[in-house]
Structure 1
């Protein structure tokens, strides 16, 4: 199976840029990956606290991307950590091969550095690397180890068909090491073909991309989303901003509006608003009532004196 490597990062002295790109890649494809990295960059500190690296599969035009975002092993001249988006690009004629061996890639990419493009770059000379064309690389299907065969013949998960993929429903998995294994089993047990997935996603990523398999940042539960039980885990506070606390979002979001917990929260917030309004009206009424009483006493005094 043929693929090309890609790397978006920075070097010792130069700012973030595309350092290695697949040949003949479209500018729209690069913009898509830039958008993904920018959404990662907003919460990179939260991602770095996770025991697993985020991983994304995106199908765009005539290319399929499998990329990861995270810390490199390098620092710039000011001692700051250098982050990256790196991975591989698969031509359309190899898309079926890619989806077939993807469980094996997931089982081995940490130990084998399969998606680590930085390892082939001479860091001291990286300042001069700008849009270097990637060479063709190959996965040799006949040399795959036993891990792929074990995944394919695993009966426990092949019996649990993920029908949600075939009807367009997203499948939710935990964002942890067990979730990485579950991702491989979802892929093995799915006949739907190559789909977009996000192993490590923020709410903004979910809104921006059409992901079919999702592991949310901060969600390390063993529960998954299916048609019978819709589970919406809350996102940890370190990736929320003030806009996410707006009660209007509970109504506007098409998924959250069916969450009974959030309905209860909305009811409680509405009660609080009504209660606060009642206190506000009471606070306004009392001073006016007292002023009327004082005015009445003054009128009585003036009449007596007259």
Structure 2
């Protein structure tokens, strides 16, 4: 194949320099306004975020709150109407595709590949940003692929065709491909959605190992706020396209936040592993609940585009 397979189906450009760029460890968005061409109002309206270098930052919020939209904006998959995204000192929209892929990896919900490709070949596609057009696979490529396959725990799958895998196995294969890019910044969009408990926990363990064994900066969208609070060093809570709170999970995940943003009554207990949430009931006393539900459905549809 001629380039790195992406979730949009476009190969990366060839001919850029293959190596030598030092990976940036900071990713920040300033005054971001993000919307889709078919949406009337912005999904994200002028928010600023920063991913802590070498740490795990979790984006959480109700359905339709703008989590995936914000991640797409940070990954240069959705151009901002206003504001900017910086990777180190570089604005991501000004970076060549291959140069950006050497510094930032994205696991999207929309990743696709030919079903006949083997897992090992898929993982090798993660090395294309590091190679020139005429360069063959190097020892460094082999080593990076082996590390990625080991970390993603898919060694037994390497000869399997992607089309023959279960949903959880495919997710591990895609994670291995992104890990093989060896970027300093990694963005994961709901990596545990629709996975069984075994694969769910495996993915979370991969993120924990990245934090413990490397200096990777990880931004992850998670649906489960309790798991996000236990996994992340920093939590950003979104609601209706606005950042409602951010900071240490122990400070952010409170009963009042769950009531105001997630519209549930719950007991929150701080433990050594992080906040433990005991949901009690859904709140239906918001006078604007019908409007909120309509907004959520609209934003969910936009984020799926």
* Superposition TM-score, scaled by structure 2 size: 0.29
* Superposition TM-score, scaled by structure 1 size: 0.29
Relative to its length, the structure with more helix (as a share) is 1
Structure with bigger gyration radius: 1
Relative to its length, the structure with more strand (as a share) is 2
Report which structure shows greater RCO (CA 8 Å, sep ≥6). 2
